[in-house]
Amino acid sequence: MKYCRFELNGESHYGLVEAVAGVEQITRLLLKPPEDADGDIEDLPSKRMDQIGLADATLLAPVRPSKIICVGRNYREHAEELGNEVPVQPLIFFKPPSSLLAPGGEIRRPKLSQRVDFEGELAVVISKTIYQVRADEDVRPYILGYTCLNDVTARDLQNKDGQWTRAKGFDTFCPVGPLVTDEINPWTGVGVETRVNGEVRQQGNTRDFIFSLGVIIRYISQAMTIAPGDVIATGTPKGVGPVVAGDVIEISVEGVGTLRNPVVDE
């Protein structure tokens, strides 16, 4: 099952995405948000619509989370490239929902920063309320699906501030999409690739996570309630680097698709 969120006649809708003759099309309107489905989106009421090619739709960020929880340094080689120790427990931080950006939306480089980096990541969308998951409990029933996320970071402010709220939290610093799918399995490994102006800059695989999704979700849930629709970004592979106005960043997660965003100056 794949779904997106898109604009039609000035209103936002969720749409079911299906391959028709090998091309992804929005084929049905979902009449409730997927996070209301309690994990089974096929059971949601929907209605037929005139098909729109996913590539032709005005896409919105496919998530409306109460919070975006991110894991830092979850790939060994990325921790090392920034001169950091490999963490012994998950390192978590937030991005505010106000930083969300639609596929195709412009990432604005703030005047306050001299260095803005891309970070291509796999993101998890949560389906059911989670709090203090037991050590032996499978987290998979709590996952609605997966998408691409760009954890855009003002690297100079991250280093200067000592904590990451401002550096990670600017408006437009959290592009997500283009769709959410439950048809991939990060436990067995999916590729995460970032390209800038077509040139490959990051190539990772979720099988190289330092902390598995189970460890991450259990760890977060010991501290806080994770709500349906919340997003967890799982960390970026090595190869992060700065962008300038005019660059186009593409993040592809195998089996999800490509999240593409141009960069502009504020």
d(CA 205, CA 9): 39
C-beta of residue 217 within 8 angstroms of C-beta of residue 140: no
Between 30 and 167, name the residue whose CB sits nearer to Mg ion: 167
Between 46 and 99, name the residue whose CB sits nearer to Mg ion: 99
Q: For Mg ion, which residue has the nearest CB?
A: 151
- For 243, the token pair is 């962008």
Phi and psi angles of residue 213, each rounded to the nearest 5 degrees, phi first? -60, -35
In angstroms, the first-to-last Cα distance of the chain is 37
C-beta of residue 172 within 8 angstroms of C-beta of residue 106: yes
Task: Tell me what percent of the chain is helix, strand and coil, each rounded to the nearest 5.
Answer: 15, 45, 40
Binding residues for Mg ion, how many (CB under 5 A)?
3
| The one segment of 99-107, 170-178, 179-187, 235-243 that binds Mg ion by CB under 5 A | 235-243
Count Cα neighbours of 181 within 13 Å in the Cβ-side half-sphere.
Answer: 21
Residues 139-158 that bind Mg ion (CB under 5 A): 151
The least distance separating Mg ion from the CB of residue 70, rounded to whole angstroms, comes to 6
β-pairing, 241-242 vs 2-8, is: unpaired
The least distance separating Mg ion from the CB of residue 60, rounded to whole angstroms, comes to 22
The least distance separating Mg ion from the CB of residue 190, rounded to whole angstroms, comes to 17
The least distance separating Mg ion from the CB of residue 32, rounded to whole angstroms, comes to 31
DSSP code at position 61: -
Between 8 and 92, name the residue whose CB sits nearer to Mg ion: 92
| The one segment of 79-87, 203-211, 232-240, 246-254 that binds Mg ion by CB under 5 A | 232-240
The least distance separating Mg ion from the CB of residue 149, rounded to whole angstroms, comes to 8
Residues 203-222 that bind Mg ion (CB under 5 A): none
Among candidates 157, 151, 163, which has minimal Cα distance to 240?
151
The least distance separating Mg ion from the CB of residue 120, rounded to whole angstroms, comes to 9
C-beta of residue 176 within 8 angstroms of C-beta of residue 101: yes
Between 108 and 155, name the residue whose CB sits nearer to Mg ion: 155
d(CA 32, CA 13): 9
d(CA 224, CA 115): 32
Member of 25, 46, 172, 236 binding Mg ion (CB under 5 A): 236
Between 71 and 102, name the residue whose CB sits nearer to Mg ion: 71
The least distance separating Mg ion from the CB of residue 254, rounded to whole angstroms, comes to 18
Neighbours of 121 (CB within 10 A): 28
Query: Which x/- pattern over 99-138 shows residues binding Mg ion (rule: CB under 5 A)?
Result: --------------------x-------------------
Using CB under 5 A, list all residues that contact Mg ion: 119, 151, 236
